[in-house]
Structure 1
Amino acid sequence: MEPQQNGNSHSQLFGVSAERPASVRSRTEPMVSTDGDDLGSGIVGVMLTFLSWVLVIITLPFSLFFCFKVVQEYERAVIFRLGRLQSGGSRGIFFVLPCIESYTKVDLRTSCFDVPPQEVLTKDSVTVSVDAVVYYRVSNAIVSIANVANAHQSTRLLAQTTLRNILGTKNLHEILSDREGISNSMQSSLDVATEAWGIKVERVEIKDVRLPVQLQRAMAAEAEAAREARAKVIAAEGEQKASRALKEASDVISESPAALQLRYLQTLNTISAEKNSTIIFPLPIDLIMAFMKGCNREVVPTGKRTAAASVEKE
């Protein structure tokens, strides 16, 4: 136990805490034990640790270039001693014993990857090709190294299978109209599955949904037919409104002779504005009838006088 305590003390001097984060003590606990009994087990571990310190002291100050490491603020260093997990969560400058300690850098920034187009048979037996993009980050550096061989590659493969499984339970209409719901469902499923790998899936977006060419033509024809039907309905409604307006106008004109005369003058004004060589002026029927009646009154008396004169002569 004493060598382990000495080994941890030099890390604490340079800002590295041997205490593991509380978030690690959960169901995402690394499968590697970090107890002192396992680190540098037996006499071999003690001897190697002692020799490493002797080597560092002998080669001073040149050994400092190999012992001090720097990790950026957005990275974490997971340290192993003799193949055993030593500590994690280090950032900034820290100390590494040469020969017996190694470390792995883990980037905690949000990354993204494209899910390749997946050929999926929907619930209503339609084949579609769907691709997506996934945004994720490493939430626990120790777990992402200790519990899975390649957390990033595993997340990529899991995203492909999850996308196919979710789309297989949807019909074509739901896929085309409810992309946000599918994205949220996929994000929740991936987040739960990758929690044990120290991965946090932040967002999933459906990029494109590709349909077969024949289905695209059928849907386009259906949409065109629907548009034509709506256009006919709108035209019929317009004609109906126009006929009602004409009926109301005719009722007003029939009830008011002055309105008829105004309409007559308006028509003459419209005709005269056009560039025509011949203009026909219509006469009102009542004026023509009055003129005809006047002519009949003049013709009939003359005829009677002529007939009477002929009788007298005889």
Structure 2
Amino acid sequence: MNPIQILSVVIIIFLFAGIRIVYEYKRAPKFRFGKYIKTLKPGFRWVIPIIETIQIVDIRVITINIVSQEVMTEDNVPCSIDGVLFFKINDPERAVLEVEEYKFAITQLAQAALRDVCGKVELDTILSKREEMGKNIKSIVEIETKEWGIDINDVKIKDIQLPENMRRMMANQAEAERSRRARIILALAEEQAAGKLLEAGKLIDQSPSAIKLRLYQTLSNIAAEKNSTILFPFPEEVLPRKANNKKKKKKK
């Protein structure tokens, strides 16, 4: 190969070595001799090999798991709490220049904030107000991340692990509460039923015809059963008038 061909090959390799493709959901801060120049937008890009470098930054919402943290609540209950954090980079330049490893830094901040927030409240508050706990953790973390060009979208408490004896105590408490509610409902039902029976008794007592209707209904229900003989004593006053007149004639 002559020198011109060699030079052509070197130039082609040099040109291909500088080709970069930046995807739509990414940005690429560009450095020349280690100094920040600008942030490359999506598309086909070319950098000077060796002299220029880029660092790819994902600007989509990123999820970080907050590993389980041992927490002592305000009422001295030990528990393990984990969660999840969602964040998004809105300024790639600051995310690269202001902090060395932004994912690691956010993870450490979230863990510390979780221990701090949950350690200042009682266990019942953590169990019943998870959403509020997540918002408190978010407010603490985003104070630092705003300076890095990072927005914290949300923080969620995922799981709360309690000691075995505490779980048994809570189960017994829940069972006692359910039993108490059941007894209250039963007592209210009996009270209402007694009131209705009292009202019905007053109505029947005020109307002799109502007593007869009730008696006939009872006889009808008994007659539906396959019994050979039915003895049903009742006062003569509740019999129809015709039956009473016949009895009086027989006596005469």
Structure 2 contact 26–59 (Cα < 8 Å) conserved: yes
User: TM-score, normalized by length of structure 2?
Assistant: 0.84
- 2:146 paired with 1:180: no
Report the Cα offset of residue 285 of structure 1. Answer: 5.1
Which 5+ residue runs of structure 2 have no aligned equivalent? Answer: 1-6
Match of 2:205 in 1: 254
AA in 2 matched with 1:233: I
Equivalenced residue count is 239
- 2:104 paired with 1:147: no
Cα distance in 1, alignment partners of residues 43 and 194 from structure 2: 84
Give the direction of change, closer, same or farther, for the CA distance of 1:99–1:227 in structure 2 (3 Å limit): closer
Match of 1:222 in 2: 173
Report the Cα offset of residue 121 of structure 1. Answer: 0.7
Cα distance in 2, alignment partners of residues 215 and 201 from structure 1: 34
Report the Cα offset of residue 227 of structure 1. Answer: 2.0
Match of 1:119 in 2: 70
Deviations 1:94-145 (A, max 9, x none): 3322222222111111110211111111111111221111111222222222
Percent of paired sites with the same residue: 37
Structure 1 contact 69–96 (Cα < 8 Å) conserved: yes
Match of 1:136 in 2: 87
Aligned to 1:94, the other structure's residue is in SS state strand
AA in 2 matched with 1:72: Y
Give the direction of change, closer, same or farther, for the CA distance of 1:242–1:107 in structure 2 (3 Å limit): closer
> 1:22-101, aligned counterparts within 5 Å?
59-101=10-52
- 2:225 paired with 1:274: yes
Give the direction of change, closer, same or farther, for the CA distance of 1:85–1:57 in structure 2 (3 Å limit): farther
Give the direction of change, closer, same or farther, for the CA distance of 1:121–1:273 in structure 2 (3 Å limit): same
Cα distance in 2, alignment partners of residues 144 and 230 from structure 1: 55
Structure 2 contact 27–41 (Cα < 8 Å) conserved: yes
Match of 1:10 in 2: none
> 1:165-204, aligned counterparts within 5 Å?
165-204=116-155
Choose 131-140 or 227-236, whichever is displaced more: 227-236
Cα distance in 1, alignment partners of residues 107 and 238 from structure 2: 94
Choose 58-67 or 219-228, whichever is displaced more: 58-67
Give the direction of change, closer, same or farther, for the CA distance of 1:264–1:196 in structure 2 (3 Å limit): same
Structure 2 contact 27–92 (Cα < 8 Å) conserved: yes
Aligned to 2:99, the other structure's residue is in SS state coil
Cα distance in 1, alignment partners of residues 188 and 49 from structure 2: 88
Match of 1:301 in 2: none
Cα distance in 1, alignment partners of residues 9 and 45 from structure 2: 20
AA in 1 matched with 2:118: L
Cα distance in 1, alignment partners of residues 68 and 53 from structure 2: 39
Cα distance in 1, alignment partners of residues 153 and 171 from structure 2: 36
Cα distance in 1, alignment partners of residues 55 and 238 from structure 2: 111
AA in 1 matched with 2:147: A
Report the Cα offset of residue 283 of structure 1. Answer: 3.4
Match of 2:160 in 1: 209
Cα distance in 2, alignment partners of residues 147 and 246 from structure 1: 79
User: TM-score, normalized by length of structure 1?
Assistant: 0.69
Structure 2 contact 30–40 (Cα < 8 Å) conserved: no
AA in 1 matched with 2:78: T
Deviations 1:143-167 (A, max 9, x none): 2222222111111121111111111
Report the Cα offset of residue 93 of structure 1. Answer: 2.6
Aligned to 1:63, the other structure's residue is in SS state helix
Match of 1:160 in 2: 111
Structure 2 contact 212–238 (Cα < 8 Å) conserved: no
AA in 2 matched with 1:87: K
Structure 1 contact 162–186 (Cα < 8 Å) conserved: yes
AA in 2 matched with 1:128: C
Report the Cα offset of residue 218 of structure 1. Answer: 1.5
AA in 1 matched with 2:23: Q
Deviations 1:163-209 (A, max 9, x none): 11111111112111111111111112211111223322111111122
> 1:275-314, aligned counterparts within 5 Å?
275-284=226-235, 286=237
